[in-house]
Structure 1
Amino acid sequence: MRTGGLRRHNVPVLIEDAPPGWRHLMREALRRDRKTRWPGPRVLLIETLGVLLLTVAAIARGTHASLGEQSVVSSPLAPPPAFDPSAPFCPSQFDVPSMPVPLEARDYLLLVLTTLPLAARRRYPLAVYWVVLVAAVSAQAYTGFATSVGLVVAAWSAIRYSPNLPSALGSFLLGALVAASGQGATPGLPVDPTRPAVWINLGALVVGAVHYYRRAVRENARRLAELEREQAEATARALEEERARIAAELHDVVTHNVGMMVIQAGAGRRVLDSSPEQTREALLAVEAAGRAAMAELRHVMGLLAASASGEAAAGGEPELEPQPGLDQLEHLVARVRAAGLPVELALALPAEPLPAGADLTAYRVVQEALTNVMKHAVGASATVSVAPDGDFLEIEVVNTAGTPGPQAATGGGRGLLGMRERLALYGGELDARRRIGGGYLVKARLRWRAG
């Protein structure tokens, strides 16, 4: 739609865009091929010399015909012979004596146009074809082999270099009709479908159709290969995302539970001789953390090996368990307290059940935050608060100042990155920073209900 120039009561009138006219279609069909590059200097020189030789041969053939082979019928000095309708058609009616008729400037121009435009056949293939065809048909009374060669080259160039091959095929069909009718040729000649230009156009039509079919097959094969490549890339991206998700799960499981086991084992080693009872409690805590780690690892591995029906791939009974959520947050805090980190928990859940993904994300955020406290702030205390805020869930983990533990140097920032990625899936955000008075603050916000 476009705004026209007509206005009524100062309101612009919308006029639909008119369909493209014949001028636009002609320009589109005859436009130059911008994809074809000019050949090298050597090839260009050879082609130019060939075009010049064809031009000289065409002029020489036309001059020779004008000296002794030009028909009296073509001469403007003699009227065409009378045609007797009562007599049966016989080509001998047009067999008249020959006489020399010199060529005029127009005739030489037509002979030049049958070959010389081939120099631009790569950039303007269809336009060159029509110029050569019209010139050859108009001068066919005194043309010869060179003109036929020029028309063949022009037709092949239209097939090879035309950006619109269906237009070239239509041009060949129309060109065959023009050549058969003899438009522009010697007046008085009947329709002759055996002229060389007719056979050249029909041959070009067949060759062009085969070329168009083969090009369509290649294009379909290219598109199929491109679709397969895009599918392979999409599969690779999905695998990468799945690997990242699995890595995040394994990181959360292993880091938290193994970290607690290391801390409890170290505490038990220190009191091994002086306090066997505390050593026993530390070993029990190590055992409990190990069992929890094994259970969660079995769950993660079960997700990888599970079939579409939810059963284990090996054919045994399914060992899948529900993913951890905020309902198990008290058990997590109890294990952390048993590891020696004082934790206060303030948990308030929405009245509606949380989606499984949001529930798991909130649990992992708290788990990772407490794991970082045990690694980087030994001797500190922590406070965990979880509360709904409309469609969002507010999570805050704050710890006091402490000293870095032996495991502080093993972190690579993967935990915070994993938390940000998990929260981003639910339109959440993470704020993790040091506190001015000492300690660290982890504040997360995620959407648990669609707005």
Structure 2
Amino acid sequence: MTLLAAVLLAAFVVAAAAAVAAGLAAARARRRHRRALDERGWLLERERQAAASGAVAAERARIARELHDIVSHNVSVMVVQAGAAREVLAASAADVPPDVAGALAAVEGAGRDALKELRHLLGLLAPAADGAEEHFEPQPGLDGLSRLVDRIAFAGLPVDVFINGEPRPLPAGIDTTAYRIIQEALTNALKHGEADRAEVSVRYAERSLRIEVLNTGPARPARRTAPVGTGRGLLGLRERIAVYGGDFDARRRFGGGFRVRARIPLDAA
């Protein structure tokens, strides 16, 4: 082998070794990059799940607080009425069987015990941030729908309301849930700024209450009509309706806009 051939062979070996080393280094870099991407994706998923869990927990606490207020308000009224009736009977000159006064006293005592337990349970489920005493107030219901619609319209989103069926009194929890569904749907339509008009339909069926909120907006491709529901507000609505075993669906509409539908059974309420 001549000296030139030996030099060329050595140069080829060095070049090949350098190429192999560079290839291995590039492969290791790609593996590190993939691992970094996988780890970042895992962390983002963990954060998303934590945020969703936090939103669900916060909404459950809010539901607990609202149901607590509803029940506490009604029990408070019962206690006051029972106590007033007992005092009226005691001051009356009529001959009242002693069992009646005893029954009223039992109702009053049971009501006060129930209020104490409700306060204790609410403290476990949704403690007040400032430790202040709770104030029991009736939660909003469908009787406040017109005021809600007026506020949304004043903020810039006209709303048409359609009531189907014969309106009738609803259980307080369902009444509040129905109001919150409409409130959240209209607030989202107003907040995201794509809707130019909204429609609210409330249908009193024989065994269920059906709610639909539609809004119009810029045209969207047909593929965007898939169900959605990862927002915190929508998660909260699902939690509310799940309390009563109802159905919930929220999706973008073909041709633009958004649709929220809910069905709340009334026979199991």
**Range of TM-score over shorter length:** 0.3 to 0.5
Give the structure-2-normalised TM-score.
Answer: 0.48
Larger Rg: 1
Higher normalized contact order (CA 8 Å, seq sep 6+, divided by chain length): 2
Give the structure-1-normalised TM-score.
Answer: 0.30
